[in-house]
Amino acid sequence: MATVTPHLRQELSRRGIECFIGEGGTISDHAVFEPPCGLKWMATHHTVSLGAFSYAVSGFYSEVMIGRYCSFGDNVQVGRGAHPVDWMSTSPFFYAGERLFNIGTEFEQSAEYTAYRPGHPGDIPVRNSRTVNDFLKRTTIGHDVWIGHGAFIAPGVTIGNGAVVAGQAVVTKDVPPYAIVGGNPAQILRMRFDLHKCAALQALAWWRFAPWQLAGVPFADVGKAIPQLRTLIADLTPYAPAKVRIADITAAQ
């Protein structure tokens, strides 16, 4: 994890990444951002990728690929690690590859606690810094996705382009493109548009372009926007900025 310093925030801002995380906070050193975008108060862990024109207000994000033009509310939870429910115990004391608590030594059998590491249970990988990427499931969130406040997205699901996840929803399975889902567990409430419009937007993949390239398109009227997009993007070069990698910034310090 990279520690947030005034210098790191300044470098992120200079490169097109908005960051409100306070000094002493952390950002995953595997995080990759496509400018411009808003990291704001996101808590990032393991591999996190955030596309251009996307932002998340706050919450937990682990092992997730996020597309462009996404809008995430407060306290959204994505990729929270699961526990092994088919083992005798769900406790990480039996699979974590490192000490669970960072504590002192003035308690009974502290030496035993400090020395303890779980055994390797057959062919099941031990969860430690060398095998954690094998243990985690990657979550994929498409482009133009809106996730409301407090939603929970289970590890390993895919949320399609243009989807909407209602606040406080618990998403445990894949969400189709342009579906609006809500509830616990989340269910499809309706589609944003009819199937022909959804298919047209998918085919156009308008998120390949920057907003200033799409000036004049009537986004408030999807029926009128689709034919205009077909004509406009035929002559456009997709927006392709250089990626901003936390590891590159910290390595240069």
pTM of the full structure:
0.89
pLDDT score for 131: 42
Q: Is pLDDT at 135 greater than 60 in this prediction?
A: no
**Of 90 and 47, the one with more pLDDT:** 47
Q: What 8-state DSSP symbol labels residue 81? A: P
User: Is the separation of the CB atoms in 160 and 179 below 8 Å?
Assistant: yes
pLDDT score for 83: 81
Q: Is pLDDT at 34 greater than 50 in this prediction?
A: yes
Q: What is the pLDDT of residues 38-88, one digit of tens each?
A: 999 999 999 999 999 999 999 999 999 999 999 999 999 999 887 878 889
Distance, CA of 29 to CA of 27 (rounded, Å): 6
Strands 158-159 and 139-141: parallel
Residue 30 designated active-site: no
User: Is the separation of the CB atoms in 142 and 160 below 8 Å?
Assistant: yes
Distance, CA of 158 to CA of 175 (rounded, Å): 6
The residues, any chain, with a CB within 8 Å of residue 141's CB and separated by 6 or more, are 64, 65, 66, 67, 70, 78, 147, 153, 158, 159
Nearest 5°: phi and psi at 207? -65, -5
Nearest to 141 by CA among 35, 55, 223: 55
User: Is the separation of the CB atoms in 118 and 96 below 8 Å?
Assistant: yes
pLDDT score for 119: 66
Distance, CA of 75 to CA of 19 (rounded, Å): 16
pLDDT score for 239: 98
pLDDT score for 129: 40
| Peptide bond before residue 177 is cis, with ω within 30 degrees of 0 | no
Q: Is pLDDT at 155 greater than 50 in this prediction?
A: yes
* Continuous H helices in 84-194: 110-115, 132-135
Distance, CA of 252 to CA of 7 (rounded, Å): 11
What's the CATH fold of domain 2-81+136-252?
UDP N-Acetylglucosamine Acyltransferase; domain 1 (2.160.10)
Residue 102: both structure tokens together: 């960072």
Domain positions in the chain: 2-81+136-252
Q: Looking at 7, 46, 83, 120, which residue is catalytic?
A: 83
Count of helix runs (H) and strand runs (E) in the chain:
6, 18
The mean pLDDT of the chain is 92
Please tell me the total number of residues recorded for the chain in this structure. Answer: 253
Distance, CA of 252 to CA of 249 (rounded, Å): 5
